[in-house]
Amino acid sequence: MNSEDLSGFLKALRFAANKHRNQRRKDKRNTPYINHPIEVCYVLTESGSVFDPAILTAAILHDTLEDTRSAPEEIRELFGSPVLDLVKEVTDDKHLPRFVRKRLQVENASTISDAAKQIKLADKISNIRDILENPPWSWNTRRKLDYINWAEQVAGGLRGVNKKLEDKFDELVRISREKLDKGNRR
Ligand code: ZN
């Protein structure tokens, strides 16, 4: 990343932190929401060796359209159309019922761009890691396993782009199942 890319990324981090400032993750620790997009960026660089500034900028912004009052125009103006297009590719249509959105993620995974596929996979890795280490307070084991099964279906459509990320995902799913199955049997 050159200095221009870095300042663009920090501008996006600042924007996302501001938009998510009153939101918390639904875990026991009441984690600030912004920790999640930061984690997604960290997974991309650390596990996926992804250093493309547009991908990392879109990753830090990936939940702003879906979960905050951000207008697409704001993102276009500040970060440009390629970043906006990427964010849109990983944004669910909140007007649709939850089960439809979940089905569409599975159906559409293979049709999105390679850049968006990597963001989506890193997002799933981050969410599963949270389920393992710092889960939503109201989720029982069944719900956790359901999420992992669904994420695996989505990930099926995201393969063939970044082997390192895919291996990380598979490893995490394996560990999670082991852990959760044990908990289930107890
Ligand atoms: Zn996310």
Q: Could you tell me the CA-to-CA distances from 81 to 27, 60, 117, 124, 128 in Å, in that order?
A: 34, 16, 18, 25, 30
Question: pLDDT grade, residue 107 (50/70/90)?
Answer: very high
**So what's the pLDDT on residue 15?**
98
Alpha carbon separation from 1 to 10, 32, 48, 77 (Å, rounded): 12, 27, 16, 21
CA–CA separation, 164 vs 32, rounded Å? 28
Cα(77) to centroid of ligand 1, in Å?
A: 22
User: Confidence class of residue 49 from pLDDT cuts 50, 70 and 90?
Assistant: very high
Q: Which of 5, 52, 66, 92 is catalytic?
A: 66
> What does pLDDT average to over the chain?
95
In this predicted structure, the answer to whether residue 182 has a pLDDT above a threshold of 90 is no
pLDDT average, residue stretch 118-142: 95
Check the CA dihedral 138-29-171-88 and report its sign: positive
Q: Is the pLDDT of residue 184 over 80?
A: no
| Cβ partners under 8 Å of residue 172, min gap 6 | 125, 128, 129, 132
Q: Is 66 part of the annotated catalytic residue set? A: yes
Percent of the chain residues topping a pLDDT of 90: 92
Question: Is the confidence at residue 14, as pLDDT, over 80?
Answer: yes
**Domain positions in the chain:** 3-184
- CATH for 3-184 is 1.10.3210.10
User: What number is the average pLDDT over the span 144-153?
Assistant: 97
Q: Does pTM top 0.85 for this prediction? A: yes
Average of per-residue pLDDT across 70-78: 96
Q: How far is the CA of 39 from the centre of ligand 1 (A)?
A: 9
151 pLDDT above the threshold of 90:
yes
CA distance 114 to 158: 8
Query: What pLDDT, on the 0 to 100 scale, is given for residue 1?
Result: 83
Between these two residues, 102 and 136, which has the higher pLDDT value? 102
Angstrom distance (rounded) from CA 99 to CA 157: 18
Ligand 1 geometric centre to CA of 177 (Å): 21
On the question of pLDDT at 80 being above 90, the answer is yes
Q: How far apart are CA 8 and CA 91, in angstroms?
A: 21
Active site residue 4: no
Residue 3: pLDDT band by 50, 70, 90 thresholds?
Answer: very high
- The residue from 67, 85, 92, 152 that is catalytic is 67
> Amino acid identity, residue 138?
S
Q: How far apart are CA 159 and CA 109, in angstroms?
A: 9
The answer to whether the CB of 184 falls within 8 A of the CB of 141 is: yes
What is the model's pLDDT at position 185? 67
Using the mean position of ligand 1's atoms as its centre, give its distance from the Cα of residue 3 in Å.
27
Give CA–CA dist 170/165, Å, rounded.
9
Compute the distance from residue 56 Cα to the ligand 1 centre, in Å. Answer: 13
Average pLDDT over residues 104-113: 98
